[in-house]
Chains A and B, each alone.
Chain A
């Protein structure tokens, strides 16, 4: 399924950091990087600064601003760009970050699932064949981290910038490359496995119950007319046979 590992990937990844800081573009990430130094401080800095920019750009209904429990600044920029590209704002839904998909993914990766809960993590580690399923020695969080780094490395090599700074057409090109496994990561990380995890979590962030941070205001459910947790349909089977059911989804929090 994947090409043999390339021994050079590590240095490519490191070198790319330079390319990026040399970039003339200015964004929130660089602003934060300059404003606060150090891990813990950066985290609280993000929380303190985010509200303004969030308020400025988001519809009035948007709840609390993004604060990340897992993603670092590069990763946050990547995931925000990704979900906004995959779920653009239009007449059907707000954009991915306004749906909270980035927050859903962040919380999932920071939590037990991201840390490898229920994942058999004993070696030896072998590549195996596709029919044997997931065989990497990585938790979902580690897979994500390595995948974002590898995707950004690809973007820098190809376009001279990280994913979040690409224009629409370039982002589309990257996603097509990831989803069709036309892109090969220099790091040796199997692109199909990363794409599989990425895609699945975007879908989860769009359609899981809002208690997990995504599907804000149940917009994912409204999009398709899924009623959510209310599911006492005994009489509805006949009543709504062949007819649309009222589109007023209810979530777990609405009933708690």
Chain B
């Protein structure tokens, strides 16, 4: 039996980037907010501190800040004819589990997704005709525009201390920035990070090839900074321990040192850590939600937390799982194409080359999460004609390092023995004298890539695991081939001593090794309930007092990391709740 608690205005499920932003904004607006976070509270002073935070085995290999798969995981398969099996330990992606969520241990690359994504179907149909988009590619416009989101991108970039160089301010192209980016109102809050040698060499080669390199915008404060809310940042130390680690220097924009402590300052806000939400509750006619049930994982006790508004902020994957477990909205069926919950799960793809330069020291242990250089010539550059290459989507190419620690990163030329003296010699010779160029590519939605509930396997709470069905399609393989060629051409132009060439991926998606925690879709936003779960304010079409926030709302995946629009949409939703919904509770968009 669960204990029923006193009703609050808002219950937030999960306290990472999105939960943290909404907690702060709504508590400051005078609403009574409770956040339920399954992870424990950890702090920069005590946990993300020297020397213990600098432990590759603990944080990278053993996933100390990540979801514990013994308690909850997914089952996975490549297509609907296979039998899905549990992901028995984490691999391909790493959902966070701590107060602050993955926002604690992300790298900080912060991008603005543009109308190239938000109007994806219209763009391609208009330029290439309806036939260019394969029948099983279920891409659709998002129902939101870049112009609407621009101020919210700006707000997130300022909150998170993004360092970068604008390429387009109010329509005017800026020297040194990304000339393809959509117009922004203002410059980045902080100047770009100092380029490391590898990114400099990549930039020179890319420029010589006629491309347009620019410093990757990243929430690694390039100098000490106080954000508009008064949160203080130290300067990034290029510590080389960024991805999967909390930041010892308080330089990485993270919710646990920005929005969460600000929410905690408000008497309206309460955080309950170690609280695992198992279900969203609906009222008898299913038109509204009434709260959530959760378990205190320290003692197994169950509670019901009634609330006027429920916000799912539990990360892209867990949000979809909670929707399916709670029976909100019609589950998607790939055979008929009917239903929406679980639809359009997408991931990303990539290719990479390793370049070896005898005698050149790259010092791969000195880098910030985002001290790479990038080119977007094959990405948000609509001038790049996809027609002859016959693919929908895009990729960006970067050169440099991110968290090149020695258990995981020990580049050697192909053909080097895996052990023995020759292996040691090669490892010693090349660890410091190699660099990497890699591409990150979009994945378009496909009819057969989706989530539903697994018929067999269960989590520690006795609930069905979520089942992920995913594979790359010919479209992605074609794009990968193009990307590998571009990478190899740039790499060869740099005259490395040896080169491990980029190879386009053609084999199925696999659950190992790590690829990226850029999972998208499953409860997508859109313009009508027949093809989406949420309206443009991330409000459920079925239950108007339920909002679902995170990359799960993206109808397809771009080549960029997701947190720019995830953060912007969290602020956008906060505004919609404060300024529209509370005044007149009900659907913000008529179905």
Interface residues of A (CB under 8 A from B): 85-88, 90, 92-93, 113, 116-122, 124, 126, 128-135, 172, 175, 179, 199, 202-204, 207-209, 212, 220-221, 223-229, 231-234, 236-238, 240-245, 251-252, 254-256
B70 contacts A120, C-beta separation under 8 Å: yes
B170 at the interface (CB under 8 A from A): no
13 pairs from A and B in contact (CB 8 Å cutoff) = A86-B420, A88-B420, A92-B428, A119-B69, A120-B88, A131-B511, A207-B406, A226-B365, A226-B431, A231-B54, A244-B432, A245-B361, A245-B366
B240 at the interface (CB under 8 A from A): yes
**Least CB distance, B78 to chain A, in whole angstroms:** 6
Give B234's nearest chain A residue, CB to CB: A234
B456 at the interface (CB under 8 A from A): yes
B85 contacts A128, C-beta separation under 8 Å: yes
A93 contacts B85, C-beta separation under 8 Å: no
**B235 contact set on A, CB distance < 8 A:** 234
* Docked pose: A175 CA to B87 CA in angstroms: 28
**A120 contact set on B, CB distance < 8 A:** 69-70, 73, 86-89
* Docked pose: A245 CA to B366 CA in angstroms: 10
Give A241's nearest chain B residue, CB to CB: B197
B456 contacts A224, C-beta separation under 8 Å: no
B57 contacts A209, C-beta separation under 8 Å: yes
Query: Per-position contact with A for B59-103: 1 when CB-CB < 8 Å, else 0?
Result: 001110000111001001110001111111111000000000000
Query: Per-position contact with A for B403-436: 1 when CB-CB < 8 Å, else 0?
Result: 0011100100000001111001101100110000
B508 contacts A209, C-beta separation under 8 Å: no
Within 8 A of A (CB), among B35-68: 50-52, 54-57, 61-63, 68
**A130 contact set on B, CB distance < 8 A:** 510
B361 contacts A175, C-beta separation under 8 Å: no
**Least CB distance, A211 to chain B, in whole angstroms:** 8
**B91 contact set on A, CB distance < 8 A:** 133
Known interface pairs A92-B421, A122-B86; A223-B428 also in contact (CB < 8 Å): yes
A85 contacts B419, C-beta separation under 8 Å: yes
* Docked pose: A116 CA to B91 CA in angstroms: 15
* Docked pose: A90 CA to B421 CA in angstroms: 8
Known interface pairs A208-B407, A226-B406, A252-B54; A118-B432 also in contact (CB < 8 Å): no
Total interface residues in chain B, CB < 8 Å = 67
Interface residues of B (CB under 8 A from A): 50-52, 54-57, 61-63, 68-70, 73, 76-78, 82-91, 194, 196-197, 235-241, 360-363, 365-366, 371, 405-407, 410, 418-421, 424-425, 427-428, 431-432, 456-458, 507-512
**A179 contact set on B, CB distance < 8 A:** 418
**Least CB distance, A8 to chain B, in whole angstroms:** 27
Contacting A133 at CB < 8 Å: which of B68, B360, B456, B511? B511
**Least CB distance, A91 to chain B, in whole angstroms:** 9
**A233 contact set on B, CB distance < 8 A:** 237-240, 363, 365-366
Contacting B55 at CB < 8 Å: which of A86, A119, A242, A252? A252
**Least CB distance, A225 to chain B, in whole angstroms:** 5
